[in-house]
Chains A and B, each alone.
Chain A
Amino acid sequence: MGGRRLLRYVLRRLLQAIPVVLGVVILNFLLLQLAPGDAATVLAGEAGGAPAEYVQALRTRFGLDKPVPVQLAFYVKNILALDLGYSFRNQSPVLPLILARLSATLLLMGTTLGLSLGGGVLLGLLAAVWVRTWKDHVISVAAIIAYAMPLFWIGLMLILLFAIKLDWLPTSGMEDAAAFYEGWERVVDIARHLILPAITLSLFYMALYARLMRATMLEQRGLEYVTTARAKGLTERQITTRHVVRNALMPVVTVAGVQIGGLLGGSVVVESVFAWPGLGQLAFQSLFARDLNLLLGIFFISSCLVVIVNIVVDVVYVLLDPRVRVG
């Protein structure tokens, strides 16, 4: 496909994303209205002990003395200018607070996405190849169980086994702050801290993708192109690896894109279990500080993140499957 057509496609998807982002801003505004007390005190971070002059200044800046539609216009304007307010708890504007945590969350999400997609596709593939044997049953039962476990509980159980009983891996955090590692040693240290949270967050999605992969593989095997491939003399192995797998991957990639929002939600829980210094842990901390404005900011930025990742997944999809038309 031509680069220019792909660019046009990306631009169109960005345009389609605008209503979603606007919707989140409006939702945030409605949530602010729902909050007990004056919106200005919420914006200032409720129990944060904001000075009265600041609350008054906020009231003017967000037009809180004006009718509701005007307030909404002010709010939308401020958020779209990426002015998410100030967090008195943290003595910092909200946006840099969130951006500072973004890379840790992205690292956790990216690793989880790779691990769950890779593991899920592989397990689903094996289950389909071994269909109705004991190996297939073992994989399917493991998937059903992984599907039913609460994330935070998996995390705590992994900590209990691998960090406390066996003492193989660290219990929490992203790196050993006291060790002052540099270069490769630091990378290895972060990777060791990453293993347990990434596995915790992956298990559910791995189970989901494995089940989906198995189902689509079995469905695809009955289709005509497989009969054709068999008729022209390809071995079963060739049929599976060259044809069936590639077609069965499509629904898995689609579902993976849909699950991004869920993945971010799950990372809130996992990060608070492992004290992983990302957006989720920031959300957890802002809950305790009753810093609702920071929480709303996190909700806004994570929604934007979902929209962006969705676009990326769509582009990957187009690149993988030439039949999808983008014109």
Chain B
Amino acid sequence: MQGFWQRFLGNPRVALSLLWLFFIVAVAAAAPLLAPTSPFAIVSKPFSPPFGEFLLGTDSLGRSLLAGLIYGARTSLLIAIIATLAAVAFGTLIGSVAGFYGGIIDDVLMRLSEFFQTIPSFIFAIVLVAILSPSADSLVIAIATVSWPPIARVVRGEVMSIKSREFVQAAIVIGQRDVAILVGQVLPNALSPLIVTGSLLVANAILIESALSFLGLGAPNLMSWGFQIGAGRAFLRDAWWLVTVPGVAILLTVLAINLVGEGLNDALNPRLRDL
């Protein structure tokens, strides 16, 4: 296990990314302390430029851009993480049942996941949020609904290969119940690809959430990075920082998560590194 931590943290890309993610998580957690007013509060005249009274200036309604960024970190991370957890839970359930029982159950469940991978998932997410009416809950539901198939496929593959190993066969012979075998024997051994896929899904969830918020489908009472960009786009010509800065926040966060995911993959499968 020591080898893993050395390989993982010794990678400078991973170390830098983790630093940025810790920073963002800390900002999100301490949002009410860092930005005492609500991100929707009008604090000054519209379009005051950056580095004045407010570090990043104010938007078209006189709201502080920085306060929006701080609260936006909260919204983006919370929605992305909860949606990913839901997708991982559902994908693991579907994938392990399909891989463990095989046969017609496997066929049906895999056709279902292929179906969800074929349909244009972002349009499906738009339709879902529009029909459930925009809120944090509908965002989580929509993102989770379009994100579970990769998890199901990864888990299924792992379960199928672990199922034929001797220790699982032994557990079957001594009469353990299926659920106990799956949870106690099979899934712990499928953990590492699950963690890698799950971490990459968080990045994807942030991108989907920001795109939905940009289109005006975000949670109406929560400030988010995508909403800030959507609100600032009409003033691109005169106040370009209103669009640029939240975009950089999304870019750095998604980039950091992707690099951590790749670093996890490299550290968990050292033999594949040269590929």
Contact = CB atoms under 8 A, between A and B. Distances in A.
A303 B119 contact: yes
Contact of A149 (B123, B131, B215, B251): B251
Q: Is the interface of B mostly helix, strand, loop or mixed?
A: helix
A262 B240 contact: no
A159 B236 contact: yes
B247 A153 contact: yes
B130 interface: yes
B15 interface: no
Interface stretch (A3-11, A79-87, A264-272): A264-272
B122 A156 contact: no
Greatest chain A CB density within 10 A among B126, B210, B244 is at B126
A159 B229 CA distance: 14
B12 to A, nearest CB: 13
A262 B251 contact: no
Interface in A150-198: 150-153, 156-157, 159-160, 164
A138 interface: no
A288 B215 CA distance: 10
Nearest to A260: B120
Given A153-B243, A269-B215, A36 B122 contact: no
A261 B236 contact: no
A321 to B, nearest CB: 22
A156 B210 CA distance: 14
Interface of A: 19-20, 23-24, 27, 31, 34-36, 144-145, 147-153, 156-157, 159-160, 164, 215, 218-219, 258, 261-262, 264-266, 268-269, 272-273, 283-284, 287-288, 290, 292, 295-296, 298-299, 302-303, 306-307, 310
B207 A268 contact: no
Given A20-B118, A152-B211, A261-B120, A283 B126 contact: yes
A288 B255 contact: no
B122 A262 contact: yes
Contacts of B243: 153, 156-157, 160
30 contacts: A20-B119, A23-B115, A34-B132, A36-B133, A149-B247, A149-B250, A150-B247, A150-B254, A152-B211, A152-B230, A156-B229, A156-B243, A156-B247, A160-B236, A261-B118, A265-B123, A266-B122, A268-B122, A268-B123, A269-B122, A269-B211, A269-B214, A269-B215, A284-B215, A295-B130, A296-B127, A299-B119, A299-B120, A302-B120, A310-B118
B226 interface: yes
Contacts of A152: 210-211, 214, 226, 229-230
Contact of B121 (A34, A261, A290): A261
Contacts of A290: 130
Interface string B215-249: 11100000000100110010011001001100100
A173 B1 CA distance: 56
Interface residues of B, number: 43
Contacts of A153: 229, 243, 247, 250-251
A265 B123 CA distance: 5
Given A152-B229, A264-B120, A298-B123, 16 more contacts: A23-B115, A24-B119, A27-B124, A31-B127, A145-B251, A147-B258, A150-B254, A152-B211, A156-B229, A157-B243, A218-B275, A295-B126, A299-B119, A299-B124, A302-B123, A303-B119
A19 B111 CA distance: 10
Given A268-B122, A287-B130, A292-B131, A156 B233 contact: yes
Nearest to A298: B123
A35 B130 CA distance: 9
A20 B116 CA distance: 9
A47 to B, nearest CB: 12
Contact of B126 (A19, A20, A287, A310): A287
B192 interface: no
